């Protein structure tokens, strides 16, 4: 099941789903990250990866 991460207002979101051998990240065709958004995205990805590790 996809997980949606909101990074800010408007279309600032990513959907991440787990395939057997990878994470698939989908979002707008182009997204310019501010420094704050880049750090937020990194934190969200680390948290999500940790959750996946706990499920295995």
Q: How many domains does the chain have?
A: 1
pLDDT in tens, 1-56: 457 767 666 666 777 777 777 767 777 656 666 778 778 878 888 887 888 777 76
Instruction: Identify the pLDDT of residue 1.
Output: 47
Instruction: Identify the pLDDT of residue 44.
Output: 80
CA distances to 4, 23, 29, 42, 56 from 36, rounded to whole Å, are: 18, 23, 20, 10, 31
Instruction: Identify the pLDDT of residue 56.
Output: 66
State the SS3 of 13-42. EEEEEEECCEEEEECCCCCCCCHHHHHHHH
Range of the domain at 48: 3-55
């Amino acid at each position: 099941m996809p997980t949606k991460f909101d990074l800010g207002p408007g279309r600032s979101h990513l959907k991440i789903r787990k395939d057997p051998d990878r994470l698939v990240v989908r979002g707008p065709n182009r997204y310019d990250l501010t420094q704050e958004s880049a750090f937020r995205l990194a934190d969200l990805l680390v948290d999500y990866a940790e959750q996946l590790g706990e499920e295995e």
